[in-house]
């Protein structure tokens, strides 16, 4: 269990590589991530990095996984500050933590939720769990609210085709709660899409400058969502 000195140094270097990569992404964008540039900044030669990551894609994957974990941690920590039965409070905290994290870690956000890096294929087996956790946080909240009779589903959600019902049903084994209605599974995805849409508009300036920065637009909309779901 006790690490040798070598093991410790090794882990520190691997972490430093990720940290420098993150810094460079912030400057040049995720797509411009370059092993040589990272090595240069660290005072190493490029081949030295191959001791830590077998190739560039492996480093990108490590960064993606870590970003999802950090986002999930931030959301979970924020949600925990609300009482378990305060569904409106949990939703708002989750949503705000999502936005705050995106603004504070723009390039990490790009990396996980932006356009995929050209020539890089995310290995789903490594990313699906940390990525799914974000959905599960939202889904869990909706499930809890449903159990407590505090979730109103929009009318259209009651008339899903058999095909869509079945496709959504297949996700059930991956959910912490099995008793949630299918419509709530669909709603989970829609809510993630709405959170992303709001952050996207602000982050990439598809909303006119000066409108979204204060956070009030986001706040108003997640309040409206909470209200129409009956969480409040």
H or E segment at 30? Answer: none
Choose, by CB under 8 A, the member of 48, 58, 189, 230 that binds a copy of itself: 189
Spatial neighbors of 219 by CB under 8 A, at least 6 apart, are: 96
Which option in a copy of itself, DNA, none does residue 176 bind, with CB closer than 5 to 8 A by kind? none
Q: Which listed range, 30-38, 48-56, 74-82, 94-102, lies at the site for a copy of itself (CB under 8 A)?
A: 30-38
Integer Cα distance of 25 and 17 in angstroms = 12
Dist. CA 8–CA 99, nearest whole Å:
34
214 binds a copy of itself, rule: CB under 8 A: yes
Based on CB atoms, which residue is closest to DNA, 57 or 100? 57
Minimal distance, residue 71 CB to a copy of itself, in Å: 13
d(CA 148, CA 208): 40
By CB under 8 A, name the one of 47, 54, 176, 193 that touches a copy of itself. Answer: 193
SS (H, E, C) 102-122: HHHCHHHHHHHHCCCCCCCCC
Per CB under 8 A, does 230 bind a copy of itself?
no
Tell me the closest approach of the beta carbon of residue 116 to DNA, in angstroms.
16
| C-alpha span between 44 and 135 (Å, rounded) | 39
Rule CB under 8 A: which of 44-73 touch a copy of itself? none
For residues 82 and 27, give the distance between their C-alpha atoms in angstroms, rounded to a whole number: 36
Q: How many residues bind a copy of itself (CB under 8 A)?
A: 55
Site residues for DNA, 55-84, by CB under 7 A, read 55-57
Q: Tabulate helix, strand, coil % of the chain (nearest 5).
A: 70, 0, 30
Least distance (Å) between residue 124 CB and DNA: 19
Q: How far apart are CA 194 and CA 209, in angstroms?
A: 20
Quick one: which segment of 64-72, 80-88, 97-105, 149-157 binds a copy of itself (CB under 8 A)?
149-157
- Let me know: does 135 contact 188? Beta carbons within 8 Å: yes
The total number of residues shown for the chain amounts to 232
Closest CA relative to residue 192, chosen from 228, 138, 150: 138
Contact residues: DNA, CB under 7 A: 4-6, 9-10, 13, 33-37, 40, 43-48, 50-52, 55-57
Contact residues: a copy of itself, CB under 8 A: 28-32, 110, 113-119, 131, 154-157, 159-161, 163-164, 167-168, 170-171, 186, 189-190, 192-198, 200-201, 204, 206-208, 210-212, 214, 216-217, 220-221, 223-224, 227-228
């Amino acid at each position: 269990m006790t690490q040798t000195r070598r093991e410790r140094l090794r882990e520190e270097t691997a972490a430093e590589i990720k940290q420098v990569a993150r810094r460079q992404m912030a400057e040049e964008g995720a797509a411009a991530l370059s092993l040589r540039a990272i090595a240069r900044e660290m005072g190493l030669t490029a081949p030295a990095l191959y001791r830590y990551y077998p190739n560039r894609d492996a480093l990108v994957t490590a960064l993606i996984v870590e970003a999802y974990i950090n986002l999930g941690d931030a959301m979970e920590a924020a949600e925990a500050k609300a009482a378990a039965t305060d569904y409106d409070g949990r939703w708002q905290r989750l949503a705000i933590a999502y936005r705050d994290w995106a603004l504070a870690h723009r390039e990490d956000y790009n990396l996980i939720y932006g356009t995929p890096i050209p020539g890089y294929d995310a290995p789903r087996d490594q990313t699906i769990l940390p990525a799914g956790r974000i959905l599960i946080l939202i889904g869990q909240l909706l499930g809890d609210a449903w159990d407590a009779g505090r979730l109103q589903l929009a009318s259209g959600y009651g008339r899903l085709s058999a095909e869509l019902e079945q496709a959504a049903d297949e996700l059930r084994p991956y959910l912490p709660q099995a008793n949630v209605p299918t419509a709530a599974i669909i709603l989970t995805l829609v809510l993630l899409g709405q959170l992303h849409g709001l952050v996207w508009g602000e982050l990439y300036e598809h909303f006119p400058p000066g409108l979204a920065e204060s956070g009030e637009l986001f706040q108003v909309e997640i309040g409206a969502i909470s209200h129409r779901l009956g969480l409040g």
